[in-house]
Structure 1
Amino acid sequence: MSQDNATKPNTRLLVILGIVAAIGFGTIAVTGLMSRAHSTQALAAWTNDQAIPTVALAKLQRGATRQTLDLPGTIQAFYRAPIYARVDGYLKSWNADIGAKVQAGQVLGVIDAPDVDRQYDQAKADLAQAQANEQLAAVTAKRWNSLVTSRDVSVQAADEKQSDYIAKKAALESAQANLNRLATMQAFKQITAPFDGTVTARNTDIGALINAGAGTGQTSQLFEVSDLHKMRIYVQVPQAFAGDLHPGLKASFDIPQYAGQHFQAIYVTQSNAVDTNSRSMLVQLQADNPDGKLLANMFCEVHFELPTDPDVLRVPATALIPGNKGIEVALLGDDGKAHLKPIQLGRDFGDTVEVVAGLSMSDHVIDSPPETLVDGDVVRLAEDASSGKVAAAGDAKVN
């Protein structure tokens, strides 16, 4: 075989192999381009799908026919009288200690007041002197009036004696009044209970210096008497609920040390003024205390049963969207889009709020809407997120 014949088949084989290689490379390139285009389309679709916010629907509640309002309260004695001294001196004795049951007029303590005693003695002497002067002036005036008729004395002289009698009589009345005043002060040496009750404080002891009046330091109160047969309960009611309370409303209250026991009270009156700091109104209730379990200055929790409007809806506070236009909520429409709607709020219960206008039970309110949500945005329910379905409101269920 010649050399030319051996070379021709090899050249043909090389050409065929080159064509096959070119076709293979072309196929690989086309396949890669198609795969990249498909991946790009899938990434774009996934990105668009992730841009749709996933939301959940809020649970709407109808207002109950009755509502319980729980507020802290302070129990006070029905009557409470801090007792101060009316005379200066030293405490001679005390007859009732804290916790003692006393009756009106019962002596709680006695004050030794020597200054008042001496003033009383002087007033008695002054009264005796005034009585003697008045009697002498009366006799003198009577005699001079009888001498006028016989013209032994002038009318002027008789009138002077009559005027002196009148002055001496007035001095006698003044001395009598001063003695009566000091007799009253003498009575104040005995410290008495103003009404039937319990001694809830004793702030003095035998030999203590007593200064009259109510002030500071040594003029502080000596005793305190409280009437505990009935108690007053004071509660600060928020302004939003003040209009729902009225005299005669019954309430119950609990005390920590009597777990499981409920006490009854009745709403009596209110201050008719709202405190500017707390925006609350002070109200007073009264409760009987036949067994003496209720003590002054106790803390209690008061429960009011308030009537409510069953047509008023309550929504979670997390569904509210505050804005320049007021309070709004996002509703899921039949087109699968969010629509903002303004509402009017009622009372705030913390985790839920009342909506008095702007919503109906058939509305589908979005709970915890995204901050970037605007009117007309497409949204997806959380229950449909796994299937990638953008649900219309007609597909949602409101519990």
Structure 2
Amino acid sequence: MSSESSARRRARPRRILFLLGFVAVCAISLAAFGILDRARGKQEVKAWTDEQAIPTVRLVQAEPGPPEQSLLLPGNVSAFNSSSLFARASGYVTAWHSDIGAHLKKGDVLVTISAPDLDQQLEEAKAQLVQLQAAVEQAQANADLGQVTNGRTARLVAQGWSTLEQGDTDRLTAASRNAALAVAKANVRAQQAVVNRLQELSGFEQIKAPFDGVVTARNVNIGDLLNAGGTSGRALYQVADIHRMRIFVNVPQAFLGDLKPGVKATLHLPGQQETFEAELTSTSNALEETSRTALIELQADNPDGKLWPGAFTEVQFHIPSDPGTLRIPSTALIFGTNGMRVAAVDANNKVVLKPVRLGRDLGNRVEIQSGLSLTDRLIDNPQESIEAGAIVRIAGSDVKRPKLAAAE
């Protein structure tokens, strides 16, 4: 029994030493693991901090422009020809022959005017013309007689049978009668002009259509008194030629370089589902200083008369685009002393500053005529202080977060 108890007493310190050694080893292991984990956490925190110092940017890319530029502007429709008809002869209206909407041919009578005063003046002028023509015949006879007498007297003077005084008298008398004949003929020409003028005026007793068209306004009634030559107030008739229409548009200066004769356009009229095709024919070649716009004219065929003068229309121009022109958001531009530039990101996520040449400003987008390609990755809203070669991080890419809890 004593030997067993002594053996037990000797084994107990060994067990205690073993337990103490095991505890010491565990403590050292835990301490080493903590130190290593803290070091690793510090490295991750440092890497994360360095990574956070790299700016995060959002990328955009250039887009090709459409094959056709669409420009929509308001316009006004006008008749190809429009005429306001006034009275040229004074008198009373005895009849009118066409109302609004009537289709006319050139020469159709619209208004018949009774002008008795003008008719009497014409008859009087014709009678005076007859009198003057008779006076010419009388003057012609006197001139012929004076010519014969002068010739006879000249022979007698040469033969000594008549005096020189008589010869001078007959010669001057013949010259006087020739002058009287010339005056009589001039009077006839003057009176003929008067007759022609009155005949022309009498022709205005009928107001006729100046061209093929349609009546757009009538402001005359039977019995109205008309005064010749009046151009103030309302016209008797408004006639419009609508077989082809003119469309006038004020175009901003920025688009005038693309609008040349021959450019096509589509007309959209409020209240009509149908569209109409038009073609640019001419420009005013001048800008309004207040609006910086130029007036241009388009023309459109109107065989069915669906386009009316005075109508409002939206004109959609079809402008061929330059295939090399790209479009980017206006927020990608950098305005600086070095001109217009953009900030691109290369394959290594480094910034590359590229100068560009701008085209038109389209509001939230701008056209780039040169300096970019479709594959360029551009920074949206770049800082003005951004420098070439700087490293950036792309928004949306995976970012490692430090394990702060483990480090602690």
Q: How does 1:14-93 map to 2 (within 5 A)?
A: 49=52, 54-93=56-95
Match of 1:295 among 283, 308, 324: 308
Structure 2 CA distance for partners of 1:91 and 1:388, relative to 1, 3 Å? farther
Q: Report the counterpart of residue 26 of structure 2 in structure 1.
A: none
Structure 2 CA distance for partners of 1:310 and 1:387, relative to 1, 3 Å? farther
Work out whether 1:161 is the aligned partner of 2:177. Answer: yes
Unpaired runs of 5+ residues, structure 1, are 1-41, 390-399
Unpaired runs of 5+ residues, structure 2, are 1-44, 154-165, 403-408
Q: Report the counterpart of residue 5 of structure 1 in structure 2.
A: none
Q: Report the counterpart of residue 346 of structure 1 in structure 2.
A: 359
One-letter amino acid of the counterpart of residue 303, structure 1: Q
Q: How does 1:132-281 map to 2 (within 5 A)?
A: 132-151=134-153, 154-213=170-229, 215-217=231-233, 220-259=234-273, 261-267=274-280, 269-271=281-283, 273-277=285-289, 278-281=291-294
Contact kept, 8 Å, 2:93 with 2:221, in 1: the verdict is yes
1:156 Cα deviation from its structure 2 partner: 0.7
1:180 Cα deviation from its structure 2 partner: 0.8
Contact kept, 8 Å, 1:90 with 1:113, in 2: the verdict is yes
State the alpha-carbon separation in 1 of the partners of residues 84 and 148 from structure 2. Answer: 61
- What is the SS of the residue equivalent to 2:58? strand
The two structures have a TM-score, normalised by structure 1, of 0.73
Percent of aligned pairs sharing the same letter: 43
1:55 Cα deviation from its structure 2 partner: 3.5
1:113-158 Cα deviation digits (max 9, x unpaired): 4543343243223323322322222222222333334438611112
1:258 Cα deviation from its structure 2 partner: 1.6
- How many residue pairs match? The answer is 341
Match of 1:285 among 293, 298, 319: 298
1:84-109 Cα deviation digits (max 9, x unpaired): 22234444432222111111111111
Q: Report the counterpart of residue 3 of structure 2 in structure 1.
A: none
| Bigger mean CA deviation after superposition, 102-111 or 317-326 | 317-326
One-letter amino acid of the counterpart of residue 86, structure 1: R
Contact kept, 8 Å, 2:288 with 2:294, in 1: the verdict is no
1:273 Cα deviation from its structure 2 partner: 0.9
Q: Report the counterpart of residue 127 of structure 1 in structure 2.
A: 129
One-letter amino acid of the counterpart of residue 233, structure 1: I
Contact kept, 8 Å, 1:81 with 1:225, in 2: the verdict is yes
State the alpha-carbon separation in 2 of the partners of residues 317 and 214 from structure 1. Answer: 60
One-letter amino acid of the counterpart of residue 99, structure 2: D
Structure whose CA Rg is larger: 2
Contact kept, 8 Å, 2:343 with 2:353, in 1: the verdict is yes
State the alpha-carbon separation in 2 of the partners of residues 276 and 70 from structure 1. Answer: 20
1:78 Cα deviation from its structure 2 partner: 2.0
Work out whether 1:355 is the aligned partner of 2:368. Answer: yes
Structure 2 CA distance for partners of 1:295 and 1:365, relative to 1, 3 Å? same
Q: Report the counterpart of residue 23 of structure 1 in structure 2.
A: none
Contact kept, 8 Å, 2:62 with 2:373, in 1: the verdict is no
Contact kept, 8 Å, 2:88 with 2:230, in 1: the verdict is no
1:227-266 Cα deviation digits (max 9, x unpaired): 112222333444444344444444332222222x232233
The two structures have a TM-score, normalised by structure 2, of 0.72
- What is the SS of the residue equivalent to 2:396? helix
Contact kept, 8 Å, 1:320 with 1:329, in 2: the verdict is yes
1:286 Cα deviation from its structure 2 partner: 2.6
Contact kept, 8 Å, 2:267 with 2:278, in 1: the verdict is yes
1:11-49 Cα deviation digits (max 9, x unpaired): xxxxxxxxxxxxxxxxxxxxxxxxxxxxxxx9xx99x95
State the alpha-carbon separation in 1 of the partners of residues 118 and 336 from structure 2. Answer: 75
State the alpha-carbon separation in 1 of the partners of residues 90 and 345 from structure 2. Answer: 81
Contact kept, 8 Å, 1:254 with 1:301, in 2: the verdict is yes
Work out whether 1:101 is the aligned partner of 2:112. Answer: no
1:194 Cα deviation from its structure 2 partner: 0.7
- What is the SS of the residue equivalent to 1:365? strand
Contact kept, 8 Å, 1:214 with 1:221, in 2: the verdict is no
| Bigger mean CA deviation after superposition, 314-323 or 94-103 | 314-323
State the alpha-carbon separation in 2 of the partners of residues 334 and 52 from structure 1. Answer: 16
State the alpha-carbon separation in 2 of the partners of residues 329 and 388 from structure 1. Answer: 31
Structure 2 CA distance for partners of 1:112 and 1:340, relative to 1, 3 Å? farther
State the alpha-carbon separation in 2 of the partners of residues 82 and 52 from structure 1. Answer: 76
Structure 2 CA distance for partners of 1:346 and 1:163, relative to 1, 3 Å? same
| Bigger mean CA deviation after superposition, 133-142 or 270-279 | 270-279
1:295 Cα deviation from its structure 2 partner: 1.1
